[in-house]
Amino acid sequence: MKTISLAFKGADGSISVFFFPEHGILIETGPYITFPDIEKGLIREGYKSEDVKHVFLTHTHLDHAGAAWAWAERNAKIYVHAKGAASLQDLSIQQDLIRQFFVDQNLPVQETISNVFGEVRPIDKKQIVELADQQEFRFGTDTFRVHHTPGHTQDHICWQFEDKFFTGDIGGASIAGVPLFTPFPPLPDLDIPAWKKSLDKLEALIPGSLCVAHYGEVSRPIDHLQDFRSQFDLIEKWVETRYEDHANLQTLVPIFEDFLKGFLKDRGLSAEEAERYTASNPPWLSVYGFASYLRG
């Protein structure tokens, strides 16, 4: 397995994708804006983009699946949980989720999405393989299994290969070996009880390692997951005690950004590592996420 780094927002090592050359399987695509990074990464390892035949998504957020259309146009099959298939075919579903934040910030929605993530095109239904929990795919003697792990999004899955689990955003992030929380996106994505259940499920599967999207392979998965759980509760309480209504949401974001700066420093991250983290885990998203949950 090859790990390829995508320099999202100029931060190398903020998004990882994983390539199994013997089967032509790419796990995660990153956003389209970093598509050249994958092509370069493949060439560096002695492969080319035509070698990608199967694209396994963990969920349909644009920093994970935003380039899926480009692989579909190169004839790769796109594997996604059945709940995410519609948003790959109809772009308005995906874009509605981030629209509110951009509208609140007086940012032009379409332009901001394409500036941050790059171009997005719909994917033809015939290129999409819709998945269900516990589905298995055999490639020679290797088996890849689907685990439905909702909470971060409803369509979130983890891919299992041997004792490695590709956990997208459900199992937290890891920068320079430091466990960190992944964003808590607004409703209808966020489901706190489901997320906690998915973490129970992951722990019960006794993973040998976790391959997280932000960033790379985590070799002590149980310690990592427990650390992530404690941060989950911390951030949930942070927002809960300060959130009043939609009006104070915007003032809360800069306060949270300051809190996060201190939090990352306390955890031993350098300024460069903190930048790698926030590139793909924007602080505002978690404030909006928990606030939308409190609003119901």
- Rounded to 10°, the helix 283-295/249-266 angle is 130
Q: Where are the alpha helices (DSSP H) in 74-118?
A: 82-89, 91-104, 109-117
Look at residue 181 and give its three-state secondary structure. Answer: coil
Candidate ranges 33-41, 60-68, 158-166, 203-211; the one touching Zn ion (CB under 5 A)? 60-68
Find residue 128's DSSP bridge partners.
78
The answer to whether 182 and 224 are in contact (CB under 8 A) is no
- C-beta nearest to Zn ion: residue: 61
How far apart are the C-alpha atoms of 30 and 3, rounded to whole Å? 13
In sequence order, the 6+-apart residues with CB closer than 8 A to the CB of 284 are: 101, 253, 256, 257
Q: Give the shortest CB-63-to-Zn ion separation in angstroms.
A: 7
- Complex with Zn ion: residue 61 or 148, whichever CB lies closer: 61
Q: How far is CA 166 from the centre of its chain?
A: 11
CA atoms 295, 236, 7, 266: torsion sign: positive
- Complex with Zn ion: residue 42 or 229, whichever CB lies closer: 229
Q: Give the shortest CB-136-to-Zn ion separation in angstroms.
A: 24
Assign 3-class secondary structure to 224-250: HHHHHHHHHHHHHHHHHHHCCCHHHHH
Which of positions 156-185 make contact with Zn ion (CB under 5 A)?
169
Candidate ranges 18-26, 61-69, 95-103, 137-145; the one touching Zn ion (CB under 5 A)? 61-69
Q: Give the shortest CB-225-to-Zn ion separation in angstroms.
A: 17
Q: Give the shortest CB-32-to-Zn ion separation in angstroms.
A: 16
Candidate ranges 59-67, 73-81, 85-93, 235-243; the one touching Zn ion (CB under 5 A)? 59-67
Q: Give the shortest CB-89-to-Zn ion separation in angstroms.
A: 19
How far apart are the C-alpha atoms of 167 and 82, rounded to whole Å? 17
Q: Give the shortest CB-85-to-Zn ion separation in angstroms.
A: 17
Residue 61 sits in the site that holds Zn ion (CB under 5 A): yes
Residues in contact with Zn ion by the rule CB under 5 A: 61, 169
